[in-house]
């Protein structure tokens, strides 16, 4: 089975929320919609589900136009940020509810409910009411209900966003196994690059209703076709600075000159925008070959295992993710180093000119 959007545009109150999107989703594949708030993730899911109709374009299932087909006539299940369960029904009955609506035999309902409960580690809680469960257990119940329905298309709209950190991490590690066991088409929306990387599959990068890039998740992460994709796929935000390469030398807008070594060596002379992820900035330690910047600390956020150090150099504001507890004070001067093999170089139009591992 395949589900496709064919040159789909949706306009709401005169504002395009989806702009000429074409996508094909295949059975057995996980597709991650990655983008910030208002990128169009939920809008695409609602079009796939049949909850909304496109202003232009078509929705196809196995090549058949289903653009106007009511959602109740489609084989689709959806899980939202807010775990939605029937409060007056037990976990068992919540999971069984779509099968009862379908009129399935009692023995089949029991077998499928218990299979889904086992898959989602809910077997000990089948007799409980939803309000007796933790947030993670309630969300697993909602996912189990979607899976047991046997839908060909399962849509998960930021399903872990409202859970605490521990529960999110637990479910993130479980979901790829669940997806693989189900065999349905899964579409998972998230704003978090780390979540996309953990889930794997195929990532669809979105920005303001446009599809920027589609590909295997690690490939999109390592080789963003544009600076915008690199920005979408970086959290904390991508550090960006302009450079000019001339005659074997790189001049940074941040006010230093350095040899055009590493990735820069293969670039033709000219102007570029350079992007580097926060973990690629390190404290200067005297190692040769790296480009060193004298910076001033703005603020330091300590998370425990890492410290997010916000720094400025000339007109550039950057973030460095450093290991351990770094107790820098606002206004403190520190030197940070960047390996020229660890940068993304983009041309003046924002297209990728060189990436780590391609020089």
Model confidence pLDDT, tens digit, residues 337-352: 999 999 999 999 999 9
Lowest mean per-residue pLDDT among 26-35, 134-143, 176-185, 206-215 = 176-185
Single residue among 199, 226, 253 that ends a domain in this structure: 226
Query: In angstroms, what CA-CA distances link 59 with 2, 52, 333?
Result: 11, 11, 56
Torsion of CA 293, 298, 302, 305, to 10 degrees: -10
CA-nearest of 189, 147, 195 to 172 is: 195
CA-nearest of 290, 268, 269 to 280 is: 290
Q: Within this chain, do residues 214 and 185 fall inside the same structural domain, yes or no?
A: yes
206-224 mean pLDDT: 97
CA-nearest of 99, 47, 105 to 78 is: 47
For tokens 């992820």, what's the residue?
A: 277
- What percent of the chain lies above the pLDDT cut of 90? 72
113-135 mean pLDDT: 91
Q: Within this chain, do residues 246 and 215 fall inside the same structural domain, yes or no?
A: no
Which pLDDT belongs to residue 351?
Answer: 98
Q: Within this chain, do residues 97 and 177 fall inside the same structural domain, yes or no?
A: yes
5-34 mean pLDDT: 93
Q: List residues bridging with 58 in a β-sheet.
A: 6
Q: Within this chain, do residues 216 and 249 fall inside the same structural domain, yes or no?
A: no
* Nearest-angstrom CA–CA distance, 240 and 340: 14
Q: Within this chain, do residues 53 and 190 fall inside the same structural domain, yes or no?
A: yes
Which pLDDT belongs to residue 18?
Answer: 97
Residue 234, domain member (yes or no): no
Residue 143, domain member (yes or no): yes
* Residue 120, pLDDT above cutoff 90: no
Q: Is the pLDDT higher at 356 or at 315?
A: 356
Strand order across the beta sheet in which 2-12 lies: 15-26, 2-12, 56-61, 64-65
* Nearest-angstrom CA–CA distance, 293 and 134: 48
Which pLDDT belongs to residue 179?
Answer: 78
pLDDT digits (tens, 9 = 90+) for 159-199: 887 777 777 777 777 777 777 777 789 999 999 999 999 88
pTM of the model: 0.89
Which pLDDT belongs to residue 164?
Answer: 73
pLDDT digits (tens, 9 = 90+) for 277-320: 999 999 999 888 999 999 999 999 998 889 999 999 887 899 99
Residue 231, domain member (yes or no): no
Q: Which range scores top for mean pLDDT: 5-19, 129-143, 146-160, 161-175?
A: 5-19
Residue 126, domain member (yes or no): yes
45-62 mean pLDDT: 94
- H-type alpha helices, 155-255: 165-182, 193-199, 217-222, 227-232
Q: Within this chain, do residues 185 and 243 fall inside the same structural domain, yes or no?
A: no
* Nearest-angstrom CA–CA distance, 238 and 232: 9
Q: What would you report as the CA-atom Rg of the chain, rounded to the nearest whole angstrom?
A: 24
Q: How many domains does the chain have?
A: 2
For tokens 């590690």, what's the residue?
A: 173
Residue 249, domain member (yes or no): yes
Which pLDDT belongs to residue 71?
Answer: 86
Q: Within this chain, do residues 174 and 120 fall inside the same structural domain, yes or no?
A: yes
* Nearest-angstrom CA–CA distance, 238 and 142: 35
* DSSP structure string for 10-66: EEETTEEEEEEEEEEEETT-EEEEE--TTSSHHHHHHHHHTSS--SEEEEEETTEE-
Residue 213, domain member (yes or no): yes
Q: Within this chain, do residues 174 and 253 fall inside the same structural domain, yes or no?
A: no
Q: Within this chain, do residues 61 and 132 fall inside the same structural domain, yes or no?
A: yes
133-149 mean pLDDT: 88
For tokens 């993130």, what's the residue?
A: 172
Which pLDDT belongs to residue 26?
Answer: 86
- Relative to beta strand 153-157, strand 76-79 is parallel
Q: Domain containing 349 — which CATH number?
A: 2.40.50.140
Residue 347, domain member (yes or no): yes
- What percent of the chain lies above the pLDDT cut of 70? 99
Single residue among 161, 195, 226 that ends a domain in this structure: 226
Q: Within this chain, do residues 217 and 256 fall inside the same structural domain, yes or no?
A: no
Q: Within this chain, do residues 150 and 32 fall inside the same structural domain, yes or no?
A: yes
Sequence-distant (≥ 6) Cβ neighbours of residue 180 within 8 angstroms: none
Q: List residues bridging with 292 in a β-sheet.
A: 337
Enclosing domain of residue 198: 2-226
Q: Within this chain, do residues 9 and 132 fall inside the same structural domain, yes or no?
A: yes
User: Maximum distance among all alpha carbons in the chain?
Assistant: 78
Q: Domain containing 57 — which CATH number?
A: 3.40.50.300
153-163 mean pLDDT: 85
* Residue 359, pLDDT above cutoff 60: no
Sequence-distant (≥ 6) Cβ neighbours of residue 44 within 8 angstroms: 5, 18, 21, 23, 33, 187, 206
Which pLDDT belongs to residue 358?
Answer: 63
Single residue among 195, 226, 257 that ends a domain in this structure: 226
Which pLDDT belongs to residue 329?
Answer: 95
Residue 309, domain member (yes or no): yes
* Nearest-angstrom CA–CA distance, 149 and 157: 17
């Amino acid at each position: 089975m395949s589900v496709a959007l064919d040159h789909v545009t949706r306009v709401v109150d005169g504002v395009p929320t989806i702009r000429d999107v074409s996508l094909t989703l295949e059975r057995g594949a996980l597709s991650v919609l990655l983008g910030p708030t208002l990128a169009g993730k939920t809008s695409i899911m609602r079009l796939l589900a049949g909850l909304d109709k496109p202003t232009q374009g078509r929705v196809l299932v196995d090549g058949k136009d289903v653009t106007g087909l009511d959602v109740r006539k489609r084989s689709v299940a959806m899980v939202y940020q807010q775990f939605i369960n029937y409060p007056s029904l037990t976990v068992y009955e919540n999971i069984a509810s779509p099968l009862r609506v379908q009129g399935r035999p009692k023995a089949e309902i029991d077998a499928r409910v218990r299979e889904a409960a086992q898959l989602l580690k809910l077997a000990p809680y089948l007799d409980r009411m939803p309000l007796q469960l933790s947030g993670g257990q309630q969300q697993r119940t909602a996912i189990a209900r979607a899976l047991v329905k046997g839908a060909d298309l399962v849509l998960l709209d930021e399903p872990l966003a409202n859970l605490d950190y521990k529960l999110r991490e637990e479910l993130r590690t479980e979901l790829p196994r669940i997806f693989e066991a189900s065999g349905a088409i899964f579409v998972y929306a998230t704003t978090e690059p780390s979540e996309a990387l953990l889930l794997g599959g195929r990532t669809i990068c979105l920005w303001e209703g446009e599809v920027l890039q589609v590909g295997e998740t690690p490939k999109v992460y390592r080789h963003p076709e544009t600076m915008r994709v690199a920005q979408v796929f970086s959290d904390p935000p991508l550090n960006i600075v302009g450079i000019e390469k001339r005659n074997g030398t790189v001049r940074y807008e941040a006010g230093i000159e350095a040899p055009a070594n590493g990735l820069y060596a293969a670039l033709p002379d000219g102007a570029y925008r350079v992007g580097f992820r926060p973990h690629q900035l390190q404290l200067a330690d005297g190692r040769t070959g790296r480009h060193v910047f004298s910076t001033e600390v703005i603020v330091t956020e300590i998370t425990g295992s890492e410290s997010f150090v916000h720094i400025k150099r000339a007109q550039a504001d950057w973030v460095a993710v450093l290991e351990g507890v770094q107790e820098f004070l606002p206004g403190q001067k520190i030197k940070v180093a960047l390996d020229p093999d660890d940068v993304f170089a983009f041309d003046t139009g924002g297209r990728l000119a060189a990436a780590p591992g391609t020089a």
